[in-house]
Amino acid sequence: MDQINRQYGAQDIQVLEGLEAVRKRPGMYIGTTASQGLHHLVYEIVDNSIDEALAGRCTHIEVTINPDNSVTVADDGHGIPCGQHALGRSAVELVFTTLHAGGKFGGSGYKVSGGLHGVGAAVVNALSERLEATIYNEGFEYHIAFSRGDIAEKLRQIGPTEMHGTIVTFKPDPQVFEELDFDYVVLKSRLRQQAFLNAGLKITLTDLRPDPVLKKHFHYEGGIRSFVEHVNKNKTPLHSEVIYFSGEKENAALEVAMQYNESYNESLLSFANNIATTEGGMHETGFKTALTRVINDYGHKKNYLKDDEKLSGEDVREGLTAIISVKLTEAQFEGQTKTKLGNSEIRTMVDNLLGQKLSDFLEENPATGKIILEKSVLAARARDAARKARELTRRKTALDSAALPGKLADCHESDPNLTELFIVEGDSAGGSAKGGRDSRYQAILPLWGKMLNVEKARLDKVYGNEKLMPLVTAIGAGIGEEFSLDKLRYNKIILMADADVDGSHIRTLLLTFMFRFLRPLIDEGHVYIAQPPLYKMSRGRQVRYGYSDHERDRVLDEMSGGDPVVRSRIDVSRNKGLGEMDAEELWETTMHPEKRTLLKVTIEDAAAADEIFTILMGDKVEPRREFIETYAKSAVNLDV
């Protein structure tokens, strides 16, 4: 009791020296110690090399995943300075051991920089079991090594060289990270994006772990024009030319590339100093404002629109793929994650520059202008149809005393932060889920039959759809442009489908709908996928479950004590459907918060997510066939 009641005093104040703070709270610097944070280490080092490219000193960056899961990043830039700093240590030592030490705080080293906060190299060093740097700078080769942020080998000059650049090899610390295996596909997507954003820069990714070795080169002279072509490669463009504008003003530069396609979906990707601004910001606002104004002005001028007609921003962006890239000296990002750009002057710059250049383009290219206007006008008509359908739906709801869907078994808790909604495939599984749930905070919504593939439909087709609208009504936050997280009725939206091909198809249809029309649900981390067990193992009264082939084998070994004779006597059944489990089994294996496994749905790369939904659910068959042929050998848990 004395320990609990003693006063909070000066002795309780802790001072974390050097990189100790990073190791103590790694999530503050890299977001998470799971896979996403692991890959973030690579991005931080690569971003430093990208900054060299932005400064005009680097033409080639090589990233190598080594057999021991360490990563090497090499560039042909200037090389980190190795001379003595005024603080009494070498500049390279400061870069790797001191937070907020770098050439990005107002000196002449970098005009523009993605690594704005100056913590990248030091954070990677702090979270690495070992980090080594070889530097070619001002005619000499240098070497330095660290262990968990502390110097392991002092900086030494090896000898003269004509080379220039920096090579950093780091091995993530197993004491920090939950996962240590780098994903080649994840890194490939990120590095390809960086090559698009820096026209002419060569980036090479090599994975030395598999046999044969994987290697990919990225080099796009077309820059973000090539980026738009890549995003639209599985879609049907409405005009062959990618519209491209660029311009500079004071301490900022702007590039915009855009092309319309036949789809009903908008793909707007924005970047500031090569950092993906997934939450948008002032550059996106300026782009949207200018685009809407210019298309409306052009429509009125060419008599496509009546005087009182006005296209909305949603109308003029239907089927648009656009890349906005700004590079500025004093970028103001919100937080270390840098997902939103806050520079207000950029909004005015983008608005003015795009407004003028797009107006000129439409005047000079009337055929393309006509295509864009016709697409926008059709979108406006569909929006009007959607509005009427929405109002009709609302009137029906208002007249219906039970405003929520009839099949929804709601929970008793009214605080949305404490509630969960299970979207369950089929009435049979829905019945088991209703019987097994904790009705205080778990709600159940059964879905049945084949639902609409929204990749091939506009919003007006969603309203009134008997499969999708009950879901929209239950979630309560609206749809499309009207979506508001403030109205969300459940903190967790959990997709619970069978572990077979049909279940996978239903999950994909639901995720497509959420990605296209309920996107903030995913962006803000409210969507999860339940993991029902694949196997049930019984021996007498003992019953165990396995969630993968590996876990099945492990459980069988435990139940049999390693005796092969006992192991053929254990009854093993594969759970094909949720409906095959009774209420108690479903609760114990899939719904109980302390025993279940949930997969959180996140979007690390919006362009890659857009591409995969287009391939899997779009009109074109050939990309889908190619995808299936490529990944067929990776498929698991197929019910065949």
Q: Which two tokens stand for residue 544?
A: 């165990």
Is residue 350 within 8 Å of 322, Cβ to Cβ? no
Answer positive or negative: Cα dihedral of 612, 617, 623, 629: positive
At 607, give phi and psi (nearest 5°): -65, -40
**Catalytic residue from among 129, 345, 500, 619:** 500
| C-alpha–C-alpha distance, residues 541 and 620, integer Å | 52
Catalytic, 594? Answer no
Which position among 229, 502, 580, 604 bears the catalytic label?
Answer: 502
Which amino acid is present at 570? I
State the amino acid at position 567 in one-letter form.
Answer: R
From the candidates 52, 173, 314, 425, give the one annotated as an active-site residue.
425
Burial class (CB in 10 A: 0-12, 13-18, 19+), 466: exposed
Order of strands across the sheet that contains 252-260: 243-249, 252-260, 320-328, 267-272, 275-276
Whether 500 sits among the annotated catalytic residues: the reply is yes
Cβ(545)–Cβ(533) under 8 Å? yes
Going by the DSSP 8-state scheme, the letter that residue 68 receives in this structure is T
Active-site option among 76, 132, 351, 498: 498
d(CA 410, CA 436): 14
Beta-bridge mates of residue 550: none
Neighbours of 248 (CB within 10 A): 11
State how far the Cα of 600 lies from the Cα of 522, in Å rounded to an integer.
9
Q: What burial letters (b/e) apply to 201-215, b meaning 16+ CB within 10 Å?
A: bbbbbbbeeeeeeee
How far apart CA 577 and CA 297 sit, in angstroms, is 56
Cα–Cα distances (Å) from 252 to 328, 348, 583, in that order, read: 4, 12, 61
Q: Which helix (H) or strand (E) holds 124?
A: helix 120-126
Residue 425 among the catalytic residues: yes
Residues annotated as catalytic are 425, 498, 500, 502
